[in-house]
Amino acid sequence: MTRVEALGYLGLRVKSLEDWEVFATEILGMTASRQEIDGEDALVLRMDERAHRLTLRVGDDELDYVGWQVSGPDALDEVAAALDGAGVPYKDDAGLAERRGVRRLLRCTDPAGYALEFHYGATMMREPFVSPTGARFVTTAPDGADTGLGHVVVVCDNAEETTEFYRRVLGFKVSDHIVPVPGLLLTFLHTNPRHHSLAVAPVYGDGSAGINHFMVEVDDLDVVGRALDKVHQREIRQLATLGRHTNDKMLSFYVESPSGFGVEYGTDGLLIDDDTWSVVTYDASAYWGHVFDRA
């Protein structure tokens, strides 16, 4: 049984809130507001009716926390029981839940050291989301299933242990694997019809642990194209050219965020039917395109 419903939100520590505000609104098409959180200036980004999907505070350009949404109090109790059963310490943090705008929140760390916040009851805004670029972000499936913010890809020293934690303790399901180069295995996991909400990669070559990228999806290829035009016009570094992935079929490009890690911006992602799905391994990440900048 999948205990986690969707990727609810992300917290990031970034060196420049100002640069991110321009990037998020003018390139990605989110809306931004400045708020004070825990006594710190924060940039809060919206992409749908949720009060926030990304919260950025000043720091060292890294992943701060990952918010995993569950359906309600019973599901959160199941997460607590699963963590107890696995011997994973956690905190049922009412104060943090209030600051995050959710009804209840459990906080722990995964085997790779990333902070996780399991929550339900996220605040929905009366004011509609209106993108400054006309973007309509895909956060639900056609049947109404919640597919969340998008996905996040993390790199860690203990990829196998971390993957097993999400699979065995939290009920994530393996979607498939990609071996883009010999010796590098990427594992993709889902919690809802979105092909993956999380991917786990090992440290490879001279790389380091941390967030590799997060992905947001829009419902119109022209919105993707216009965003790509702005990336070119403003000479923002493009990490990978426009292309289509083998596994989730996403038509997307990758751009370097103001923090240095990537943002994947795409459309037409695959939805999974668990009743008919079989796990496979791909020998490449793209059918075409997605030529990565190795600089």
Strand partners, 44: 33, 55
Task: Specify the pLDDT at position 5.
Answer: 97
- Residue 1's contacts (CB-CB under 8 Å, 6 or more residues apart) are 78, 171
Is residue 159 a contact partner of residue 141, using CB atoms and an 8 Å limit? no
More confident residue, 207 or 156: 156
Residue 117 φ then ψ, to 5°: -125, 105
Return the number of other C-beta atoms located less than 10 Å from residue 291's C-beta. Answer: 13
The string of pLDDT tens digits covering residues 97-108 is 999 999 999 999
Tally of helices (H runs) and strands (E runs) in the chain: 5, 18
Q: Across all residues in the chain, what is the average pLDDT?
A: 96
Is residue 235 a contact partner of residue 285, using CB atoms and an 8 Å limit? no
Is residue 188 a contact partner of residue 194, using CB atoms and an 8 Å limit? no
Is residue 177 a contact partner of residue 279, using CB atoms and an 8 Å limit? yes
Task: Specify the pLDDT at position 1.
Answer: 54
Q: Which strand (E) or helix (H) includes residue 264?
A: strand 262-267
Average pLDDT of 67-96? Answer: 97
Residue 38 φ then ψ, to 5°: 55, 35
Distance between alpha carbon 25 and the CA centroid of its chain, in Å? 18
Sign of the torsion angle spanned by Cα atoms 175, 152, 144, 286:
negative
Task: Specify the pLDDT at position 170.
Answer: 97
Task: Specify the pLDDT at position 2.
Answer: 61
Task: Specify the pLDDT at position 258.
Answer: 98
Tell me which CATH homologous superfamily contains domain 6-288. Answer: 2,3-Dihydroxybiphenyl 1,2-Dioxygenase, domain 1 (3.10.180.10)
Q: Taking 80 as the threshold, does the pLDDT of residue 294 lie above it?
A: no
- What residue ranges do the domains of the chain occupy? 6-288
Average pLDDT of 174-188? Answer: 96
- pTM for this predicted structure: 0.97
- Percent of the chain exceeding pLDDT 70 equals 99
Return the number of other C-beta atoms located less than 10 Å from residue 81's C-beta. Answer: 11
- Percent of the chain exceeding pLDDT 90 equals 94
Average pLDDT of 202-214? Answer: 93
Q: Taking 70 as the threshold, does the pLDDT of residue 164 lie above it?
A: yes
Task: Specify the pLDDT at position 174.
Answer: 98
Sign of the torsion angle spanned by Cα atoms 162, 168, 169, 173:
positive
Q: Taking 70 as the threshold, does the pLDDT of residue 295 lie above it?
A: no
- Residue 232's contacts (CB-CB under 8 Å, 6 or more residues apart) are 238
Confidence of residue 207 (pLDDT cuts 50, 70, 90): confident
Is residue 267 a contact partner of residue 221, using CB atoms and an 8 Å limit? yes
Average pLDDT of 290-294? Answer: 87
The string of pLDDT tens digits covering residues 104-148 is 999 999 999 999 999 999 999 999 999 999 999 999 999 999 999
- Going by C-alpha positions, the residue among 7, 8, 24, 4 that lies closest to residue 16 is 24
